Structure 1
Amino acid sequence: MPSKDSKPFPPARGMTSFWRSNPGSLDNHRSTESLPSECDILIIGAGYSGASLLTHLLANEKYKDKSIVVLEARQLCSGASGRNGGHIKPDVYNLCSALSSKHGVQAAVEIAEFEKANLLAVREYIAETGADCDFTLTQAVDVQLSGAQDSSLKSRYDQFVREGGSVAKDAFYMHGEDAEMVSGVKGAQGVFEYTAAHVWPYKLIHHMFEASLVHDNVNVQTHTPVTSIPNQPDADGRWVISTTRGTNTAKQVVMATNAYTAALLPEYDDKIIPYRGVCSRIVTPGPDRPPLLANTYALRFNDWDYDYLIPRNDGSIVVGGARRTYLRHLEDWYGNVDDTQMVKRAEGYFDGYMQRHFRGWEDSGAYTDSVWTGIMGYSADHLPRIGCVPGRKNMFIMGGFTGHGMPQIFLAAKGLSKVTLNGTPFSETGVPRLFEETAARLESPENFVLDVYASLGTPSKL
């Protein structure tokens, strides 16, 4: 586990992911040679959160004449948004049914409905703007490979529906032989199937910045790490933000830094936790194709060990996970922001992956074409943190998406834009109530990530 004296700043350049194999023209963009000295709103982070917030701000007449600066420590979309699995997967039965027992059915349903709406909003945005990002609407197939877990999840699902979580009926359940036949996954004990999508995330985010930069009031500065943020604004209520290239004084600041938030705001230490994950791309040689995969997948081996995959339009498969290889070694992932190299223990995990798990792929010759790592931001209470930063006037946050940001971020940014634009109360933003950042959440000792780790036992025991 990293020392408490260390700060989770991103390294200068992470290893290349498949999504970033052919960067766009804005990858190293700087709108002006020098860093602007001041602005109305400063967004720190040029990933999916920063791009979405910028898009929604510019859609409002109030921001046509407001100056907006976006700072990115590295290249455009070089963090988790450019390294994930490309999955837009609204959760309509799993996480929400777990949250229901803790927070109540209505709060859980609110999140599930929000994620469904988010998928539709992203699809609409892509259709209206013509974003070339390989968006594909499809079905998610979640496969349980453990009979005990399948039974437990189905029981929880049924209870959620009985208590009023009708949104879960959007997921269709199958078990036994039907599960293996429908999914094509060897040894499938049960399957949940529901609507999802996948996308080329880097291309989507690059398009959003391209569209935003036609506005003269937008200034994007890549390779401009923020080095420090004061505890309080200046006498005029503005934030003086220090970077490696000078300072910017902003009336409002939005932290779209996700995993790296605690490097600048110490109150987020162990609240938004850097979590190093692994992803890969698998390809098949020659013209002979194995069985077509039209759906996205999650393969669940137990409650904490699961992989996910999406089929690409070019015939390749993007697969992420490999948790079983490294999760019991805390130093490999918890608080670890090193995305310059692979997690050593996970090397080779994806070799022969499709042959092991999918029927009809045994003689496919499928092999691992590329592997990379990325740093997610896990929230200690499993919920995103959206809204005003407690104790910091005119500072806002979007972070802690816990590896599940693709089906949440676009509309979360729309809601946050209402707060920054109009001072709209969080309850009127359309963002789920449980996502609101509060002082109570920041003060809570809860840390579900370490709880999961503690439940695994030490490496020496396994």
Structure 2
Amino acid sequence: MAIQSLAQLASRQPLKKMGDKPTSKLPAKNPTTSYWLTQPHHLASYRSSETTPEEVDVAIIGTGLAGTSIAYHILSQSENGSEPKVALFEARQACSGATGRNGGHVKVQVPSLQRVSKKYDAATAQELFSWVSSQRIAIKTTVEQEGIDCDLLVTRSFDAYFDAAQAAEVKAFVEEQRQSGATWTQDVQWFEGPNLERNTGIKGLAAAASVPVVSLWPYKFVTALLERAVEMGAFLYTETPVEAAETGDDGIVTLKTSRGTVRAKKVIYATNGYTSALLPQYEGVIVPVRGQNSILVPLAKSHHPHPSNTCNLFHSPKAVDYLIPRPDGNIILGGGTAAYRKDMEDRNPKWFDTVDDTTLINESVKAHFDRTMAECFRGWEDAEARAAMTWTGIMGYTPDGAPHMGRVPGTENQWILAGFNGGGMSLIFTATQEIARMVLQGIELEETSIPKIFKTTEDRLETKFA
């Protein structure tokens, strides 16, 4: 679908219900169409051969940001002539999972730091902020080095609080951390008072915090890295779901795919919300959760100021949207949790423990997206910004809110990078550099820069959603 046609679509796109509902925890066929995927890469349905190789050194399951970046880093870190035989497997088209459906947003929200500080300590909150900062730097550096055209923008982002009580609580936390010497507070600007609407462009706020951020077209970034990995020798098998993974006494993992059986010396599960389909010990530990996203197109020709910052709209502590302005004047708007909060509280299968991205969550979410710009943004009252496209995607949620990274407990030659709780863009890229080192050098997670709270452990496998 060409970008030029979005304005025509905005007023008439139906709420499609596509395909059959999935019956397993593997990716569903015929998912809703994401805006990011409307310009498919030439490797979207690529396969290096019609049948899979009999043996590989490293098998990577998943071609989103996690799987693709690991392949890229493994091959980049290998010396010429000593590159391992790497194969990537994807159930659908390349990068058609969460990375091809998210907001393209590399950011840490201040309430996330608040939760981490409360659950762990202030030092861990600082570590998280620094970790997300490292993602922004590494992604920008890689985009420049590889010459990737992915609309990368280094800017700032508002945490916009409509709830006065939440705003007061967050402000108190920031001030407390600033007084205690937390260096992350130097990157946070606080806005309140009579000039709040003018400074943010958002109506009806109690307060706002501004933090550094990077936004980009995630699919273009990842598929460019995937192309580079293939050029460096990686084998790629799209539309080739891995249906089972069995470990032999010799440690070799046999992967059963739709196109053949592969024996892998090492396996990396970059499977996020689909992990338990292949690793049953992660059932209830990494749970597939459905989110909804959209692209808004202003239909009216009236003048409306294009937002210069991205933002998270905190309608309440549990109802949050994310908004990313596009260079063409359109808006990525996702979340919509205010429209299904009751379902969230009940862990309704409309959104919780489902891999169904073939349908939308409900009609109320699109209606919420359609009215957000007029209700919340100064000068957008008459813009008639409507969702030209809206789609769903599957995230991986964990009970403790931290991703699972590192060696799969009880194995020697299997690693995992999954369970990002909707924030993978802000956590993954530098982790893949370190996971690549673990795979190539045999080192442990403690010998890397990955935050220790991310380590997958036997103890964490015991903590499941009730």
Q: TM-score, normalised by structure 1?
A: 0.92
**What's the offset of the Cα at 1:289?**
3.5
DSSP-derived class of the 1:262 partner: helix
Distance in structure 2 (CA, Å) of the matches to 1:242 and 1:51: 20
Matched residue, 1:424: 443
Matched residue, 2:264: 250
Matched residue, 1:159: 176
Q: Following superposition, which runs of at least 4 residues in structure 1 exceed 6 angstroms of deviation? A: none
**What's the offset of the Cα at 1:428?**
2.0
DSSP-derived class of the 1:297 partner: strand
The alignment's C-alpha RMSD in Å is: 1.6
DSSP-derived class of the 1:177 partner: coil
- The alpha-carbon distance between structure 1 residues 147 and 286, as it changes in their structure 2 partners (threshold 3 A), is closer
Aligned with 2:245 (options 215, 218, 229): 229
Contact (CA 8 Å) 1:142, 1:192: kept in 2 or not? yes
2:404 equivalent to 1:390:
no
Distance in structure 2 (CA, Å) of the matches to 1:397 and 1:160: 33
Contact (CA 8 Å) 1:97, 1:160: kept in 2 or not? no
Distance in structure 1 (CA, Å) of the matches to 2:318 and 2:66: 27
2:238 equivalent to 1:219:
no
Distance in structure 2 (CA, Å) of the matches to 1:331 and 1:194: 34
Aligned with 1:89 (options 67, 85, 107): 107
DSSP-derived class of the 1:123 partner: helix
Give the stretch that moved more between structures: 185-194 or 162-171.
162-171
Aligned with 1:318 (options 324, 332, 352): 332
2:206 equivalent to 1:192:
no
For residues 214-266 of structure 1, the C-alpha deviation after alignment (integer angstroms, 9 at most, x for no partner) is 123x1000011111122xx2232210111122211001000000000011111
Identity, % of aligned positions: 35
Distance in structure 2 (CA, Å) of the matches to 1:384 and 1:159: 27
Contact (CA 8 Å) 1:327, 1:333: kept in 2 or not? no
Contact (CA 8 Å) 1:49, 1:256: kept in 2 or not? yes
Aligned with 2:460 (options 427, 432, 441): 441
Contact (CA 8 Å) 2:301, 2:383: kept in 1 or not? no
Matched residue, 1:238: 252
**What's the offset of the Cα at 1:285?**
3.1
Which sections of structure 1, spanning at least 5 residues, go unmatched? 451-462
2:287 equivalent to 1:276:
no
Give the stretch that moved more between structures: 196-205 or 322-331.
322-331
Matched residue, 1:454: none
Matched residue, 1:408: 427
**What's the offset of the Cα at 1:288?**
4.3
DSSP-derived class of the 1:131 partner: coil
Matched residue, 1:328: 342
1:319 maps to a residue whose letter is L
**What's the offset of the Cα at 1:130?**
0.6
Matched residue, 2:19: none
Distance in structure 2 (CA, Å) of the matches to 1:403 and 1:289: 34
**What's the offset of the Cα at 1:66?**
0.9
Matched residue, 2:362: 344
Contact (CA 8 Å) 1:385, 1:435: kept in 2 or not? yes
Contact (CA 8 Å) 1:180, 1:188: kept in 2 or not? yes
**What's the offset of the Cα at 1:426?**
1.2
For residues 98-137 of structure 1, the C-alpha deviation after alignment (integer angstroms, 9 at most, x for no partner) is 2112212222211110110110010000011110111111
How do 1:28-107 and structure 2 match up within 5 A? Answer: 28-62=45-79, 64-91=82-109, 93-107=110-124
**What's the offset of the Cα at 1:284?**
1.6
Distance in structure 2 (CA, Å) of the matches to 1:161 and 1:337: 42
DSSP-derived class of the 2:84 partner: coil
DSSP-derived class of the 1:117 partner: helix
1:201 maps to a residue whose letter is P
2:389 equivalent to 1:370:
yes
Contact (CA 8 Å) 1:385, 1:398: kept in 2 or not? yes
Contact (CA 8 Å) 2:106, 2:132: kept in 1 or not? no
Distance in structure 1 (CA, Å) of the matches to 2:342 and 2:286: 20
